[in-house]
Amino acid sequence: MNAPRTDALRRIGPFEVPAVGLGCMNLSHAYDTPPSPGDAAKLLLSALEAGVTLFDTAALYGYGANEELVGRVLGPHRDEIVLASKCGMTGVDGRRVIDGRPETIRRTADESLARLGTDVIDLYYLHRLDPAVPVEESVGALAELVAAGKVRTIGLSEVSAATLRRAHAVHPITALQNEYSLWTRNPERGTLAATRELGVALVAFSPVGRGFLTDAPPAVAELPSDDIRRTMPRFTDAHYPANLALRAELAALASDAGLTVAQLALAWVLSRGEHVVAIPGTRSVDHLREDVAVLDLDVPAELLAAAGRVLSDGTVHGSRYAEATLPEIDTERCGAAG
């Protein structure tokens, strides 16, 4: 494993990790046919070799397949990594179900531990807030898992600052995982400041905009019908061309600075606070190395500010989720970002 620069390390509760981790979802879920088991294993081991230590999975991803993959491949390296998973949103009879009841959380944790092949999960998130269950009850169940030694620390995902504060009053929250990128600014409406104040890490998922903020943005017309981006308004014909025009401006800024678009996007996210950690996902070893390389780059503040002006909640076109999905998300909303 390559040792990361000490100035590239950030805290997630008791853990010290490089500021760029790996989101493992797309190795098993949401983006068309997953890679072969061999290719997925190669990606995970390449991440470890590149110095990544934070690996993020969930019971939902592949309806358990992603946890099994991570556990099988990284199990021999368990002491070298910080292992994060999630409960509260799982696959039931082939469909996604949000269920934050304490009994479900306890059962899901035991199932995840078995799939991951470990006796403890370092960071265990409530994947989504169940509107039918007070967050205090869900967090109380997570706290019981800590007391039982099955979980070391707990987190929340896609919740608001108000919900974070309620949860934190029940048991210390180590990390809040919300979508955050140049074109998704919801955390700036509350959780970015609240996490800083409370000493909670803000873990940014989709920091390169689900592939949009890369040198090869998706050709939406060529995406398979089951690709999750097909359901997202900002990728539709009504909004995508305008967003691509903004991305072209961003690409010009990156190129002039000798950066890739993904590196500029990641550098921007990491500049938002010393408590911010990014977990981009990829199926490409080359893209993985490109992402991790941002830790060795010094990107001028003026360039980051310019990037933030090109893409923001005031310029992006379309919401980040379809109207039917937005009620499931507890985060603050902002402009077109949903």
Torsion of CA 271, 280, 234, 189, to 10 degrees: -40
Contact by Cβ (8 Å): 186, 178? yes
The answer to whether residue 61 is catalytic is: yes
Q: What ranges in 236-338 are assigned the alpha helix state H? A: 240-256, 261-270, 285-292, 301-310
Query: Given 31, 61, 180, 321, which residue is catalytic?
Result: 61
Contact by Cβ (8 Å): 308, 267? no
Which residues 6+ apart lie within 8 Å of 150 measured at CB? Answer: 109, 110, 113, 119, 120, 121
The DSSP secondary structure of 59-102, one letter per residue, reads STGGGGHHHHHHHHHHGGGGGGSEEEEEESEEEETTEEEE---H
Residue positions annotated with a catalytic role:
61
